[in-house]
Amino acid sequence: MNLSLKISLKNAITLYCLILHLLLIFHNMKKHLLFTLLVIVNINCFASTSVPGGIVNGTWTLAGSPYNVQGSIQIVNGDSLIIQPGVTVNFQGAYKFLILGKLKAIGTVTDTITFTAANHTTGWRGIRFDNTSITNDTSRIKYCKVQYGKATGTSPDDMGGAFYFNNF
């Protein structure tokens, strides 16, 4: 059986153009889909949380990391802050982290929590337990990297560095 399809040159060109047009649309859809996926991934990769100075509490998650601290922060007596594995806390200036409540910063061997400074020269004023109430004695800091904590200024800020303990 011999099948033959007779088509005019005009119809062949029209069919060819239609196929090319459909391929181009499909190709552009793939590019647009890929672009959209890349934008979503980049937004998630570059997510960050700005933390103004003042009282902090609750839970800091990896999804919100890095946490860019814009002023001195504190956990008040009776309150707590949990920092999840893999989180980076990046102090944007010479600010301190005063713990009057409970800090639970528990990383893992493969997913440490990092406390650091945006400016390595000036650093930040470190994690400070200064007159923390005895009822708040369950703070835990495990598998954490603490970088660029500096003890400068007037007393008691000129004592410590990464950590400072007074009447704890």
Express each pLDDT in 33-73 by its tens digit.
Answer: 445 444 444 444 568 999 999 999 999 999 999 999 999 99
How many angstroms separate the CA atoms of 93 and 115, rounded?
A: 13
167, 156 Cβ separation under 8 angstroms: no
Q: What is the pLDDT of residue 17?
A: 57
Percentage of the chain lying above the pLDDT 90 cut: 55
Residue type, 152: T
Residues 74-111 have pLDDT tens digits of 999 999 999 999 999 999 999 999 999 999 999 999 99
The H-or-E segment that residue 115 falls in is: strand 113-117
Tokens for 79, please give them: 């309150």
When pLDDT is averaged across residues 14-21 and rounded to a whole number, the result is 63
What mean pLDDT do residues 110-122 have?
96
pLDDT reading at 8 higher than 60: no
pLDDT top residue among 162 and 72: 72
Which phi and psi angles does 17 have, rounded to 5°? Answer: -65, -40
pTM beyond 0.75: the answer is no
Mean pLDDT along residues 144-158: 84
53, 57, 118, 134, 153 from 77: Cα distances, Å: 17, 11, 28, 10, 25
Average pLDDT, the chain: 82
Total residue count of the chain as it appears in this document: 168
Per-residue pLDDT, 43: 44
